[in-house]
């Protein structure tokens, strides 16, 4: 995908669409796997969970503090 100042908005949208469609190919490496290779499994899990609004388990020590304070 080539994004730059010389591309029109239409061209940018087409590039993004083409990238998205290429991700549907079963032989393409998943974005999650590429992210894990780049930054590690733990950080990738935290980042993906944060971006997807999934609940990340609270560490036990923090969970106990919250229970005491409540």
The C-alpha angle 44, 30, 45, rounded to 5 degrees, equals 15
Check residue 50 and give its pLDDT: 82
Check residue 17 and give its pLDDT: 92
Tens of pLDDT along 27-69? Answer: 888 888 989 999 999 999 888 888 887 565 655 555 455 545 4
* Domain boundaries defined on the chain: 9-69
- pTM of the full structure: 0.44
Check residue 57 and give its pLDDT: 62
Write the CB contacts of 38 (distance below 8 Å, at least 6 apart in sequence). Answer: 44
Check residue 39 and give its pLDDT: 93
């Amino acid at each position: 995908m080539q994004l730059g100042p010389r591309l029109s908005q239409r061209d940018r949208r087409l590039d993004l669409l083409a990238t998205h469609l290429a991700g549907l190919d079963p032989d393409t490496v998943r974005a999650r796997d590429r992210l894990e290779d780049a930054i590690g499994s733990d950080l990738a899990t935290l980042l993906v969970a944060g971006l997807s609004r999934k609940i990340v388990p609270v560490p036990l020590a923090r969970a106990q503090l919250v229970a005491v304070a409540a």
